[in-house]
Amino acid sequence: MLSLETHNLSHRFSSGQDVLRNINLTVEQGAIYGFLGPNGAGKTTTLRLILGLLKRQEGSITLFGKAFDKNRIDILRRVGSLIESPSVYGHLSAKENLAVFQKVYQCPTAHIPHVLDLVGLGDTGRKRASQFSLGMKQRLSIALALLPAPELLILDEPTNGLDPNGIIEMRELLKRLNREHGTTLLVSSHLLAEIEKLVTHLGIIHQGELIFQGTLNALKSKQQQTLHIVLEAGDPRAAMRLLLDDHMEALYTDGHIRLPAMTKTEIAAMNRKLVSAGIEVYAIRPVKNDLESIFIDLVNS
């Protein structure tokens, strides 16, 4: 069952160029979906369209199996969101902030202490939100979004501006929400390293196009396909000459030689050739591309 599906979502601002082209997102119920892309890729625009904050121009959006356009109110009741800067009242405490929104959402008052505990702000008492750290403000904003007990929570770069501790706390909070409350999460980020510890699924957007979508494991399996070999030699110039003469795709970079993946037998043969040519071999090691390199490769290809 899908919580969210977009079909050929495209968008263009009046200033001209297409900022989104045929975005087909599929977010399964219960997933933690990381929506990843460099700055300006189109993440916020996509999320704003999904939430009806921008007028849809092309394509369709389906949430919980229902067309967004025809079921807007019903759908938005089931979705919580935090897009861009947190909107909390600085002169009010966490509890008072929540009380304001509880009236707007018309949800039970019992939700207030519950979400406060959930985001770890249960003991902030009368302290005003203006005195909160950025991480606390961010968690309070999430508490506001959680008040109506949404099935789907959409967060735009929730760790922006947080220190490493704040990032860890946020990650733990989101995992807990997903695990204990079954909340489906759609979380955007421009940092793979930050999101890979959180998500089950990933969509990678670049220049308005979705260039990868699948499970984190599917992305990781690309690691196996992108192995390369690093060679450290005493005389890298001589080693390069020998390898190129041998028609190998060797590349000299950062003080070492980079070669495409090869079998153990091929590695041994290369080693023999180098040594018998009088070139000292310090190291030959296979390197698995980390996820960050896969991301960069995807974005650059």
Ligand X SMILES: Nc1ncnc2c1ncn2[C@@H]1O[C@H](COP(=O)(O)OP(=O)(O)OP(=O)(O)O)[C@@H](O)[C@H]1O
Binding footprint of ligand X on the chain (CB under 6 A): 13, 15, 19, 37, 39-45, 190
For residue 50, which phi and psi values (nearest 5 degrees)? -60, -35
Nearer to ligand X, 43 or 139 (CB): 43
Nearer to ligand X, 176 or 190 (CB): 190
- The CB-of-42 to ligand X minimum distance in angstroms stands at 4
- The CB-of-204 to ligand X minimum distance in angstroms stands at 11
The two structure tokens encoding residue 113: 């202490």
Nearer to ligand X, 41 or 118 (CB): 41
Nearer to ligand X, 54 or 168 (CB): 54
Nearer to ligand X, 19 or 146 (CB): 19
- The CB-of-205 to ligand X minimum distance in angstroms stands at 7
The residue type at 295: F
- The CB-of-50 to ligand X minimum distance in angstroms stands at 12
- The CB-of-195 to ligand X minimum distance in angstroms stands at 13
- The CB-of-11 to ligand X minimum distance in angstroms stands at 8
Compute the distance between CA of residue 168 and CA of residue 87 in angstroms, rounded to an integer. 22
- The CB-of-211 to ligand X minimum distance in angstroms stands at 13
Nearer to ligand X, 47 or 75 (CB): 47
Nearer to ligand X, 47 or 243 (CB): 47
For residue 290, which phi and psi values (nearest 5 degrees)? -80, 170
